[in-house]
Structure 1
Amino acid sequence: MTTSGPSTSPAAGDPDREILRRASLKVALRISAGVAALVLILLAAATAFLMYKLAHPVLPGATEPGKPYTYLDSRDLIEGMILAGLAGIVLAGLVGWLSARSAIRPLGEALARQRRFVQDASHELRTPLAILDTRIQLAQRKAEPGSEPAQALAKIREDASTLTGIVNELLLAATASATVPDLEPVDVGLAAGSVAGSLQDLARQQGVQVAFDGGGPALVRIDPSSFRRAVLALADNALGHTPAGGSITVSAAVEGSWALVRVSDTGSGISGVDPDRIFDRFVRTGGTGEAQGRRSFGIGLALVREIASAAGGTVKVVRSGPDGTTMELALPLAAA
């Protein structure tokens, strides 16, 4: 007796197929549109020339009775040109569709390899992270509640949980099975304060002070891990551009129907790039980060904008100058 496994649709087995199919169709439509415009121009020119000839006919001379003379009906000629043009447009669209599919096929293979790599890497990381979380819990049981080691272990477990959330998001995105869940409201004040606390040790090593200013509860609907990553990226960027002796302030407040998280530093400000482009991928600015051995790849702030946009919010540079920079993450408050 044979049994069949769970059936999977083509979209589930190849999540990029629909994207590539639409891209091929878009290329074919653009080729068809270009050919259609060219055909219309040629038809207009041919019709104008034909009308000119009809208005200025050249009839055979009476002295040449033996010379053949051909008569063409202008209406039949124009109809023939239109039919030929339509056939050319359809043929061009078909050729464009086949050419686009052939050209995009290597891209599909590259996307498939990329997805497999992310799937394998994120899946393999889940087990070590689970083991790490278990060991942290065992260490917490041996630590005296409220002691400094217990507090440090709690922060380590929180950081490990954030990393686990990132790995799970990568796995969901790579398998194209990520759905928009019914998210529970997140208190941005508590979450932002937790991020500020987790940066204390790293900032202290660099001689930078980190402070948090909470403005009361502010609930937004966003994935907690994504929100933490966004605030952490803003704070980490500030830390990378703040020299020793400086300070960073993370604050949370409510203005109207928006929850605002601001990250301010006392660095030298944004230089070498337009502040409006600071959230573009691979855009880097001059600063103290690389001098401190913190190489920037220009990705962190771009991820912040993607997270904010996905939650219906925005991120921007409020101010930047020699006395420091302030960035603001705005998210819509959760409906009561």
Structure 2
Amino acid sequence: MFVKTKIVLTIVYVMILAGILASSSGVSRSIFSERLRARFDESASGQEVSERLPPPGPDMHNIQEDFQSTILMVNGALLIVAAILSYGLAGLTLRPIRSAYQRQRRFLGDASHELRTPLAILQTGLESQLRRNKDTKEEKKIKSHLEEVYRMTRLVEDLLQLSYFAERNINIPNKEDVQLVPLLRETSERFIELAIKNDITIDCFINTDAGVTVLGDKQMLSQAIANVLKNAVCHNKSGGSVEIRLSKVRSQAVIEIKDTGTGMNAEDLAHVFDRFYRAEKSRFRGTGGSGLGLSIAYAVICAHCGHIDIQSVPDKGTRVVITLPVSSAS
């Protein structure tokens, strides 16, 4: 992320300097040409007609061309030096921002890790009380507390995942050939119970004979697809549907997940991959959403040199298209 920003800043600095040098060169050349022409005219008019030198035009043009080539060489050298210095300056500019970002990232990772133990203790204690308690009122209260503990646990796990990706610069340490057909079927089966509960149907339009293989981490890819599927099921309408399709277009595997849910407007769509961003603030608490699911999916797909695109229409549904480069095993 910071390398890309550093390069962009360098380009901006060099473009600014190039603009200044171009303007300066243009003005200098114009002034020099006018003065040179005036000198030649003065020199020619000061001599007798019989002794007058040949027309100064060609000599003047030669001098102008020499002057212009000299300016170009000097400006080119200055731009090269400026590019090197600008790259260093961009690094110095970004250093405090990078340091603050790394401290924040470490804090999130450390805090999330430290929260796991007390949350696990709370969950165990509440579940134990729930099993022993026979009072209806107390049981309802304990269940409410447990739901909050579950929600916090999911949030902590999501934060740990993002921290894991960031610490490794979103690299995949152990890559293997991953068959997408069984992966999609296994991942979708995890949401059948939730879909039935919400009166949603999940349809897989996948050719079982289509051997589409990608190179990557199976667990990470499953998590990314699961996050998209969870959104499609949880933010759907009663009686709605979710369609999963898999195809191979040239050297790309294309996964399409389409739902008939509530959809998003253009403003929400622009921030859909931002961490903790929620299109509808009220609905996420009921579904246990943390606002990190699509951020994790985006990080995972990018780590696999893929692309994820989301199209959505309010009250009509959302279409998510994931493209991944296929491996040589396909």
Alpha-carbon distance in 2 for matches of 1:34, 1:280? 37
Name the CA shift for 1:43/1:88 in 2 (closer, same or farther; >3 Å): farther
Residues 122, 241 of structure 1: alpha-carbon distance in 2 compared, 3 angstrom cutoff = closer
What is the correspondence of 1:319-330 to structure 2 with a 5 Å cutoff?
Answer: 324-330=317-323
Q: Deviations over 1:86-141 (max 9, x none)?
A: 69958x94986786565434323322323322442465478899x89xx9xxxxxx
Q: 2:218 aligns with which of 213, 224, 229?
A: 224
Cα offset, 1:41, TM superposition: 2.0
Query: Which TM-score applies when normalising by structure 1?
Result: 0.57
**Match among 94, 98, 101 for residue 104 of structure 1:** 94
Which residue identity does 2:324 align to in structure 1? L
Separation in 1 of the partners of 2:87 and 2:323? 43
Deviations 1:194-236 (A, max 9, x none): 3222223433443334354543253221222331232123212
In structure 2, relative to structure 1, the CA distance for the partners of 1:225 and 1:45 (3 Å cut) is: farther
Structure 2 unmatched ranges of 5 or more:
47-59, 125-152
- The DSSP-based 3-state class of the residue aligned with 2:42 is coil
Change (3 A) 1:127 1:212: farther
Equivalences, count: 278
1:175-205 Cα shifts (integer Å, max 9, x gaps)? 54x6444511112222222322222343344
| 2:326 aligned residue | 333
> 2:259 aligns to what?
265
Tell me which residue corresponds to 1:117: 107
Q: What is the alpha-carbon distance in structure 2 between the residues aligned to residue 123 and residue 194 of structure 1?
A: 29
Equivalent position of 1:43 in the other structure:
28
Which of 172, 183, 186 does residue 178 from structure 2 map onto?
A: 186
Q: 1:46 to 1:192 in 2, by over 3 A?
A: same
Matches of 1:87 and 1:220 in 2, distance apart? 46
Residue identity matched to 2:33 = A
Query: Whole-Å Cα distance in 2 between the matches of residues 325 and 184 of structure 1?
Result: 31
Q: How does 1:33-112 map to 2 (within 5 A)?
A: 33-57=18-42, 89=78, 93=82, 100=90, 103-112=93-102
> d(CA) in 1 for partners of 2:282 and 2:37?
73
RMSD: 5.4
Query: Is 1:245 paired with 2:235?
Result: no
Measure the CA separation in 1 of the matches of 2:198 and 2:96: 47
TM-score, normalization: structure 2? Answer: 0.58
Q: Distance in 2 between matches of 1:288 and 1:100?
A: 38
**CA distance in 2 between partners of 1:209 and 1:50 (Å):** 83
Deviations 1:62-85 (A, max 9, x none): xxxxxxxxxxxx97xx69x959x7
State the Cα distance separating 1:46 from its structure 2 match. Answer: 2.0
1:39-66, CA deviations, whole angstroms, 9 ceiling, x for partnerless residues?
Answer: 212222222332342244399x9xxxxx
Return the structure number with greater helix share.
2
What code does the residue aligned with 2:24 have? V
Q: CA distance change for structure 1 residues 280 and 58 in 2, over 3 Å: closer, same or farther?
A: farther
| Contact 1:119 1:175 survives alignment (8 Å) | no
The answer to whether the 8 Å contact 1:35/1:89 transfers is no
Q: Which SS does the other structure have where 2:187 is aligned?
A: helix
Q: Distance in 2 between matches of 1:166 and 1:206?
A: 27
Q: Which moved more, 1:106-115 or 1:303-312?
A: 303-312
Query: How far apart are 1:31 and its partner, in Å?
Result: 4.3
What stretches of structure 1 of length at least 5 have no aligned partner? 1-14, 62-73, 136-159
Amino acid of the residue matched to residue 200 of structure 1?
Answer: I
